[in-house]
């Protein structure tokens, strides 16, 4: 277990550790019983629609809970706390961008939901493939295009799933004094088992539970702890000014997030899955604006937790352990056990959601290349195999790159590359004419960001990882406009002849 420096000055004795361990086990048993009850009673997969998008019948409240849980759940919570510890209020810019993004989503959510229902669309990647490849089903190009779209989306969610594994492994490592590798392996088994059994309907249940837990932790632990550690915010003045004005990651990062990250909400596969699962277009629109309003407080409080820890401990703590360290210094054993297990549940729920999306995208896309398709029974089997395979790859990434902040940032920023072609697909009816322009846009942006990611990961340059999305998105946008211009030029030449 982490060698705690308790604020009370008491030593972390063997008896104290044993008491905490007993409460961990108690809350784990409670959580498992609750999850098993809801899974057996409410989760039934009679067809592929139920497993993947909850039969397109999700009401507003559970849809709001599962959407917010994805955006403020365990991995995001721990990532923002760690980022607040290292970078201060720069992390709040991510929340501001998402608030703007959800209000942008409001104008398209109803359209997305109805198009999905009418055309039996199950994912974001499937939507892009259907829109851009409408007139080219018999050529080889659809396989190249759809493979690229799905492959890049899968890579994005590798980063996000790996971040959840890092968070879970970190909590298990510090809570139960097990090695990080073993803790990551335990996380993998838990996530894979539940994802294979539950599907989206099960994820919605666990998301709702974890959202309530996160709200309770904020009210009972985080806010009182922040006020105590910062002397009602007065001690924050002792931090570096760049942590207070949001410029610790650079002014370009601060300005680039609202401009580029905000519209990327339209490209998040998890948001598409939930929008497609809405009961109606009205439900989808209502969920978008409610989530936009409700999200910002979380993105302010979580970084403040990290900043409070920076005030109290200085720069010497491990950012990945920041959440556990804060909890251990502000809770009694019973509440610490509840909070740690609650965060584990939140991380597991987010990982379930990401793996569900990755597996669905892969099977729905690559298997659809077969002319005759596959049966529903085989679809379930392939999706579960995909869950295991992709989960194992995410585990490997988590083992070799155990940095929750950079994995989190890499996942959400790489997603931005799809923004230009997504907006074009949503506003143009004849978008299939520009398939080659879209192809060039994604390829060029991906090449740029992968080069920068490789350099950043290899050299340990965190700033480069956080800034890579800006040049990559600019290149992707320019490439799209060049492609549109070339198409129109060719059309004019053909018309003149």
Contact between 386 and 123 under an 8 Å Cβ cutoff? The reply is: no
Residue 237 CB burial class (10 angstroms; 0-12, 13-18, ≥19): exposed
What tokens does 22 get? 């007993």
Asked whether residue 3 carries a pLDDT value surpassing 50, the answer given is: no
What's the confidence (pLDDT) of residue 31? Answer: 74
- Domain residue ranges in the chain: 18-370+379-413
CA 374 to CA 433: how far, in whole Å? 30
Judge contact between 77 and 323, C-beta under 8 A: yes
Instruction: Give the model confidence (pLDDT) of 193-202 as tens digits.
Output: 767 666 666 6
Distances from the Cα of 461 to the Cα of 228, 341, 465, 495, angstroms: 34, 33, 7, 51
383 half-sphere exposure, CB direction, 13 A CA radius: 29
**To 5 degrees, how large is the angle CA 411–CA 415–CA 421?**
170
Largest Cα separation within the chain, whole Å, is 88
* Half-sphere exposure in the Cβ direction for 229 (13 Å, CA): 26
Which residues are 278's β-sheet partners? Answer: 58
Lowest mean pLDDT across 70-79, 316-325, 479-488: 70-79
Band of pLDDT at residue 1, cut at 50, 70 and 90:
very low
Give 469's Cβ-side CA count (13 Å radius): 27
Q: From the options 3.40.630.40, 1.10.3720.10, 1.10.8.60, 1.20.1730.10, give the CATH code of 18-370+379-413.
A: 1.20.1730.10
Q: H or E stretch including 114? A: helix 92-119
Each residue of 26-63: pLDDT tens digit? 877 877 777 777 666 655 555 566 666 777 888 898 89
| 58: β partners | 278
Under DSSP, is residue 71 helix (H, G, I), strand (E, B) or coil?
helix
User: How many secondary structure helices (H) and strands (E) does the chain include?
Assistant: 21, 0
CB 1 within 8 A of CB 12: yes
pLDDT score of 12 more than 90? no
Tell me the pLDDT tens digit for each residue of 327-358: 888 888 788 888 877 777 777 777 777 777 77
Mean pLDDT lowest among 105-109, 427-431, 482-486? 427-431
CA distance 189 to 186: 5
Residue at token pair 């277990």:
1
Rounded Cα–Cα distance for residues 8 and 486 (Å): 69
Separation CA 214–CA 343 (nearest Å):
8
């Amino acid at each position: 277990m982490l060698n705690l420096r308790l604020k009370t000055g008491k030593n972390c004795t063997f008896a104290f550790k044993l008491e905490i361990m007993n409460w961990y086990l108690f809350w784990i048993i409670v959580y498992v019983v609750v999850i098993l009850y809801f899974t057996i009673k409410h989760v039934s997969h009679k067809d592929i629609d139920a497993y993947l998008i909850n039969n397109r019948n999700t009401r507003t409240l559970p849809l709001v809970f599962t959407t917010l849980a994805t955006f403020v759940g365990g991995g995001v919570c721990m990532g923002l706390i760690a980022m607040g510890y290292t970078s201060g209020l720069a992390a709040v810019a991510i929340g501001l961008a998402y608030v703007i993004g959800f209000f942008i989503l409001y104008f398209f959510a109803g359209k997305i939901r109805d198009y999905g229902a009418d055309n039996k669309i199950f994912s974001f990647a499937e939507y892009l493939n259907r829109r851009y490849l409408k007139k080219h089903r018999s050529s080889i190009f659809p396989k190249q295009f759809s493979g690229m779209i799905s492959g890049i989306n899968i890579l994005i969610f590798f980063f996000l799933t790996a971040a959840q594994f890092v968070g879970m492994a970190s909590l298990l490592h510090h809570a139960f004094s097990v090695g990080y590798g073993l803790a990551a392996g335990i996380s993998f088994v838990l996530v894979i088992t539940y994802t294979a059994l539950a599907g989206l309907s099960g994820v919605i249940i666990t998301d709702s539970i974890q959202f309530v837990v996160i709200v309770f932790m904020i009210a009972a632990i985080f806010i009182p702890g922040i006020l105590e550690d910062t002397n009602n915010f007065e001690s924050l003045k002792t931090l570096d000014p760049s942590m207070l004005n949001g410029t610790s990651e650079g002014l370009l990062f601060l300005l680039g997030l609202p401009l580029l990250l905000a519209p990327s909400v339209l490209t998040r596969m998890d948001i598409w899955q939930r929008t497609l699962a809405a009961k109606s277009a009205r439900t989808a629109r209502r969920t978008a604006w409610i989530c936009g309003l409700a999200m910002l407080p979380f993105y302010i409080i979580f970084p403040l937790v990290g900043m409070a820890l920076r005030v109290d401990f200085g720069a010497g703590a491990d950012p990945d352990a920041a959440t556990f360290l804060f909890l251990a210094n502000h809770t009694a054993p019973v509440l610490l056990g509840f909070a740690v297990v609650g965060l584990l549940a939140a991380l597991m729920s987010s990982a379930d959601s990401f793996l569900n999306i990755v597996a669905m995208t892969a099977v729905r896309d690559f298997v659809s290349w077969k002319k005759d398709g596959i049966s529903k029974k085989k679809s379930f089997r392939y999706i579960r195999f995909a869950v295991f395979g992709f989960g194992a790859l995410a585990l490997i990434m988590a083992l070799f790159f155990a940095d929750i902040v950079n994995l989190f940032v890499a996942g959400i920023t790489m997603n931005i590359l799809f923004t230009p072609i997504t907006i074009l697909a949503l506003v143009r009816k004849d978008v299939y004419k520009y398939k080659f322009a879209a192809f060039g846009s994604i390829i060029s942006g991906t090449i740029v960001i992968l080069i920068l990611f490789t350099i950043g990961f290899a050299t340990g340059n965190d700033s480069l990882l956080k800034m890579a999305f800006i040049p990559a998105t600019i290149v992707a946008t320019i490439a799209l406009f060049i492609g549109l211009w070339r198409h129109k030029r060719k059309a004019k030449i053909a018309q003149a002849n």
